[in-house]
Copies of this chain bind each other. A is one copy, B any other.
């Protein structure tokens, strides 16, 4: 029996065609499900249809483990990629950091007050500096150094730790290291990074210095999925703040901290609420 308040969520994508919405909602209705939220998007250029649909498991006639099998004929008819998730599943998350604590601190605090619906299994860093921050929240902290000569071995060790820890999402909370391609490839759309600029402007190193040098009147932060190409992955969320000639680089860094932690938290929460669908190099965000 499913627990009382839990919902099921389908995340679907397929070639756009007639009858998808009707077929999916009919499937849920026939099995006595009550749809609490449905949103969809058609990308007309690519001819792609994407949908998020959520319904109450209370009263639903199929047990969780049978839903997939029952839905398979519909999925096959429309050529769907699909994912079935449950709102009461609390995923295990690992946070990667370097030396700056603002995003880590913010995520751990949000987790503690119940805003971030995940279990933070551990924190990984290439420096020992933030151990006390993690431990103050009761979260284990592991150092994995990333010297040039040990880089490959270190990435493998981290990956092993993620697997053994049953990690479903990695959050790079100002982790200032580039992860090797094999690492990234093993967690597709499961690594979220915060970059401290409004991408695609100021990709790469020291974006606040670049912004100050260019004399922009607005700075930003971008949360995106990590892909093989640096700072080029699908964007989940962005936010900006006004600046002026009065702001030094230090001021941009200070103002940027408030942007970064909010943008990263929003992106992680959207992901955890099963609200983000990736297609091509873009996201559809159902909020």
Interface residues of A (CB under 8 A from B): 17-23, 25-26, 28-30, 32-44, 101-102, 105, 109, 113, 115, 136, 198-202, 214-218, 220, 234-240, 242, 244-246, 248, 254, 258, 262, 281-285, 287
In the complex, how many angstroms separate the beta carbon of A40 from the nearest chain B beta carbon? Answer: 6
Write out the residue numbers on chain B whose beta carbons fall within 8 Å of the beta carbon of A235.
214-217
| Contact present for A217 and B237 (CB under 8 Å) | yes
Complex: A283 Cα to B40 Cα, angstroms: 21
4 nearest A-B residue pairs (beta carbon): A22-B29, A215-B282, A201-B201, A22-B25
Please name 8 pairs of A and B residues whose Cβ atoms are closer than 8 Å in the assembled complex, sorted by A: A25-B26, A200-B202, A215-B235, A215-B283, A216-B235, A218-B238, A240-B240, A242-B242
Q: Which of B44, B199, B245 contacts A282 (CB 8 A)?
A: B245
| Contact present for A244 and B285 (CB under 8 Å) | yes
Complex: A91 Cα to B102 Cα, angstroms: 24
Main secondary structure of the interface of A (DSSP, over half): mixed
Write out the residue numbers on chain B whose beta carbons fall within 8 Å of the beta carbon of A39.
38-39
Complex: A28 Cα to B113 Cα, angstroms: 44
Write out the residue numbers on chain B whose beta carbons fall within 8 Å of the beta carbon of A234.
215
Write out the residue numbers on chain B whose beta carbons fall within 8 Å of the beta carbon of A101.
113
Complex: A35 Cα to B201 Cα, angstroms: 36
Q: A198-B201, A217-B237, A220-B240 are in contact. List 20 more A-B contacts (CB 8 A).
A: A18-B32, A18-B34, A20-B35, A22-B29, A22-B30, A25-B26, A38-B38, A41-B245, A43-B245, A115-B254, A199-B216, A200-B201, A215-B281, A215-B282, A217-B238, A218-B220, A218-B238, A242-B242, A245-B285, A246-B287
| Contact present for B35 and A38 (CB under 8 Å) | no
In the complex, how many angstroms separate the beta carbon of A154 from the nearest chain B beta carbon? Answer: 28
Complex: A97 Cα to B26 Cα, angstroms: 49
Complex: A39 Cα to B26 Cα, angstroms: 16
| Contact present for A105 and B115 (CB under 8 Å) | no
| Contact present for A218 and B245 (CB under 8 Å) | no
| Contact present for A200 and B214 (CB under 8 Å) | yes
Write out the residue numbers on chain B whose beta carbons fall within 8 Å of the beta carbon of A21.
25, 29, 35, 38
Write out the residue numbers on chain B whose beta carbons fall within 8 Å of the beta carbon of A18.
29, 32-34
In the complex, how many angstroms separate the beta carbon of A77 from the nearest chain B beta carbon? Answer: 13
**Closest residue of chain B to A218, judged by CB?**
B238
| Contact (A42, B36) CB under 8 Å given A22-B29, A218-B240, A245-B282 | yes
